[in-house]
A and B are shown apart, each in its own frame.
Chain A
Amino acid sequence: MSDLIQVEHLTKDYGKGRGVFDVSFGVSAGEAFGFLGPNGAGKTTTMRHLMGFVRPDSGRVRIAGMDCFADARRVQEKVGYLPGELSLAGNMTGDGFLRFVASMKHVRDSARCRALCDRFEVDRKNRIRKMSKGQKQKIGLVCTFLGDPEVYLLDEPTSGLDPLMQGRFLELLEEEKARGKTILLSSHMFEEVERVCTRTAMLRAGRIAAIEQVQALRGAQNRVFTLRFETEKAALLFADGLTGAARNGCVVTACVQGSVDSFLKRAACYPVADLQVRSQTLEERFLHYYGGEEQ
């Protein structure tokens, strides 16, 4: 089956190790595909190629069989794009800008735009220059979705949004996916990709480290516990023989994979003064998932 989005051996070298190198992946029609990686991994560079802003040094980038640079006009008829760094016309009002974008995209029906604005509680009256980062991001989101395109290219779409709006946005994405839209979602947060996407590529230093089913990654979820004990002796005893634990005075930091039951029961044997838990960062997850391979 031929993919709707095809990236074949894409290489763009910006020097000093920046850029993307031999990136290949495909996204089939109706699929939601994640694009995970820390900042500077090459997510945005790949998106720029898909938008036809830059030409590959080598390799091919196509959407619906059309070259993204040479056929940019026809590709854009199918694509809704949200840039990673928003830059909207500052001296226009929210409403003015949305109408301008709709007109540029030849979108005549404003019903969808209005529905989106209501959904995200978009401030349409103020000048964009005076808006907060979150408000601007919401305007950007509406611009992306108002044309009801087939393909969405979303570059870190939830940055700047508050948790409530993040939730609403992910709901919208799930709806669009159910309507058969193709989604490429770039993010540095696994949680976002996990909720919407079925497969995800992981980028690192401009290369694809792996393409995995999201389900498989979920199993490898780790937590980092930081425990402070009442006495140094307790900390010493607790940390002794515990794999993946590091002690500093009364404080023990440990990475726990899978079930936390036995870990918590072990900790309960000692006098605990404080406990903090966080999910692994993507960077840590990478290191864990690929072991020493990435050194």
Chain B
Amino acid sequence: MSLTLFRREVRAHWVLALVFAAVMTLYGSMIVSMFDPKLGESLAMMAESMPQIFAAFNMTDPGATLTEFLANYLYGFLFVVLPMVAILILAAGLVAGHVDKGSMAYLLASPHTRAGIVWTQAAVLFSFTLLLCAWAFGLCTAAAQLMFPGELDLEHFALLNVGLLGLHVFFGGLAFLCSCLFNETRLAAGIAAGLCVLFVLIQMLSQVGDTFDWLRLCTPLTLFDTDGLLAGDSGAIGRLLILYGWGSSMYCLGAVAFSRRDLPL
């Protein structure tokens, strides 16, 4: 690992992190402020009038408690998709971007192993992922304490966020693997983004009705079981571990593939 390279990448990408954190802040604080046990009833009525749409965005049950409300409205879609986009952009730039531009030649023309370089990039991506998830957690906790003191079930909400991190480690692993395998940024980003969007769409479709219920077996997003995590269900925790396992395996696979392959530099 190279600390110099780590610092340089952080300096090159902190604006991206900031922009996404800002958008998350906007949505996060808005949704928290919308919580109102009474509003839940009117939302439930709206959900009844257009059940498919609400189901697609994982918002069927507005939830009686603040914790359930957040799990449905933020952790069902917004906090899944927003950091995912940021991760996709960053991952494509970290490895494939350098190979595509040719600047990888400068990184490798230094006394570091390829593994050292590529694991540094992986560390940048993971730190970024951790940061966004920690921000999501910190933001919601702070906003909830400020607006509805004592309403948030901190213990289970924390577990939900560990779950969110697992999901993003999975997305990060996938994007990182693609970035290590392909020589062109467009190809790496395209394939990773295509798969991630497909997974999200499959999940949305699977929630619409019983007809497509089986589709939930076709998307890794099912492994991030918000209801199960809030209930502290051991099955949900097990599925979460699978998500972490897949994610970290793809990180490793990417690093190994990159260390072994020919580079067009």
Closest to B100 in A: A87
The yes or no answer to B106 lying at the interface (CB within 8 A) is yes
Choose among A55, A83, A101 the residue that contacts B102 (Cβ–Cβ < 8 A). Answer: A83
B127 interface contact, C-beta 8 A: no
Contact yes or no, B263 A54, CB < 8 A: yes
A88 touches B103 (CB 8 A): yes
| Chain A interface, number of residues (Cβ within 8 angstroms) | 27
B113 with A73: CB separation less than 8 A: yes
Which residue on A lies nearest to B102, using beta carbons?
Answer: A87
A227–B109 alpha-carbon span in the complex (Å): 50
Give the residue name and chain of the B residue nearest to A74 (CB). B111
The number of residue pairs between A and B whose CB atoms lie closer than 8 Å in the complex comes to: 66
A125 within 8 A of B: no
Knowing A87-B102, A104-B5, the reply to whether A76 touches B265 (Cβ < 8 A) is: no
Give every chain B residue within 8 A of A35 (Cβ-Cβ): none
Interface status of B234 (Cβ within 8 A of chain A): no
Contact B111 A77 (CB under 8 A): yes
Cα–Cα, bound, A143→B262 (Å):
24
Q: How long is the Cα–Cα vector from A89 to B107 in the complex, in angstroms?
A: 11
Q: Which of A68-88 contact B (CB under 8 A)?
A: 72-74, 76-77, 79, 81, 83, 85-88
Q: Which residues of A contact B113 (CB under 8 A)?
A: 72-73
Q: Which residues of A contact B109 (CB under 8 A)?
A: 51, 76, 79, 81, 83
Q: Which residues of B contact A85 (CB under 8 A)?
A: 102
B232-265 CB contact bits vs A (8 Å, 1 = yes)? 0000000000000000000000000000001111
User: Bound complex: CA of A51 vs CA of B109, how far in Å?
Assistant: 7
In the bound complex, how far is the Cα of B108 from the Cα of A51, in angstroms? 8
| A100 CB–B CB distance under 8 Å | yes
Segment 108-122 of B: residues with Cβ below 8 Å from A? 108-114, 116
A interface residue numbers (CB < 8 A to B)? 48, 51-55, 72-74, 76-77, 79, 81, 83, 85-89, 91, 100-101, 103-106, 143
